[in-house]
């Protein structure tokens, strides 16, 4: 008798590919939880056994042992109800969205910094948008960044300019 014969009538079992996809999704979820900081992990409601195994996994530095322990955490998570892991999935989704927003903001600031270094019109627009800026300091940083770029020096002034733009 095969396993399909023992399943209730009218109910199909998931295909082997679907089972593998689900197992990989749980493994990725486990890896995402391990990558979180302890403070972020404290905000997520997890079954106690999984939380202790994640804490134990953080102490393992050997690659193969870490990989094996991650597989064990994923195995424990597969045994849990989907409802117990929904909070973790939602928290990781919010964390990923926040990361994407932060990266987009940094890229916007980097582009603005590059425009400031390349031409003076952007500086006029920026000062019009933010009249409280210290114009003299901003202009000196831009001049220094241009000099550093022209002389192939490390971008110290460009980094300071980025920090200043980030504070706006």
pLDDT per position as a tens digit, 81-104 = 888 888 888 877 777 788 789 899
Place of tokens 């241009």: 146
User: What pLDDT does residue 89 have?
Assistant: 83
Q: Are 126 and 133 in contact (CB under 8 A)?
A: yes
State phi, psi for 93 to the nearest 5 degrees. -65, -45
- Reply yes or no on whether the pLDDT at 9 is more than 80: no
Structure tokens at 135: 């114009």
User: What pLDDT does residue 143 have?
Assistant: 93
d(CA 52, CA 93): 22
Lowest mean pLDDT among 11-25, 58-72, 84-98, 104-118: 84-98
Query: Sorting pLDDT into bands at 50, 70 and 90, what band is 144?
Result: very high
**What are the pLDDT digits (tens) for 26-67?**
899 899 888 888 888 888 888 888 889 998 998 899 999 999
Q: Report the half-sphere exposure of 34 (CA within 13 A, side-chain side).
A: 24
Q: Are 23 and 73 in contact (CB under 8 A)?
A: no
Lowest mean pLDDT among 5-14, 15-24, 118-127: 5-14
Question: What percentage of the chain carries pLDDT values higher than 70?
Answer: 94
Listed in sequence order, the DSSP H helices in the chain are 3-6, 16-35, 38-42, 48-58, 63-79, 82-118, 121-129, 135-150, 156-167
**How many other CB atoms sit within 10 Å of the CB of residue 30?**
26
**How many other CB atoms sit within 10 Å of the CB of residue 23?**
14
Closest CA relative to residue 85, chosen from 70, 73, 96, 97: 73
The whole model's pTM is what?
Answer: 0.54
- Reply yes or no on whether the pLDDT at 7 is more than 70: no
- Reply yes or no on whether the pLDDT at 6 is more than 80: no
**Exposure class string for 51-61: b at 16+ Cβ within 10 A, else e:** bebbeebeeee
Q: Are 22 and 14 in contact (CB under 8 A)?
A: yes
């Amino acid at each position: 008798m095969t396993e399909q014969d023992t399943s209730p009538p009218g109910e199909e079992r998931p295909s082997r590919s679907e089972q593998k996809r689900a197992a990989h999704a749980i493994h990725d979820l486990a890896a995402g939880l391990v990558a979180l900081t302890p403070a972020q992990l404290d905000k997520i409601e997890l079954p106690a056994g999984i939380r202790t195994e994640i804490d134990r996994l953080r102490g393992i530095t050997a690659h193969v042992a870490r990989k094996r322990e991650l597989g064990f955490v994923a195995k424990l998570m597969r045994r849990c109800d989907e409802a117990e892991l929904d909070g973790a999935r939602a928290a990781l989704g919010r964390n990923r969205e926040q990361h994407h927003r932060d990266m987009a903001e940094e890229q916007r600031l980097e582009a603005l910094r590059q425009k400031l270094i390349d031409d003076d019109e952007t500086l006029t627009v920026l000062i019009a948008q933010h009249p409280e800026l210290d114009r003299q300091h901003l202009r000196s940083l831009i001049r220094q960044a241009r000099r550093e770029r022209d002389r192939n020096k490390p971008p110290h002034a460009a980094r300071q300019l980025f920090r200043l733009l980030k504070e706006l």
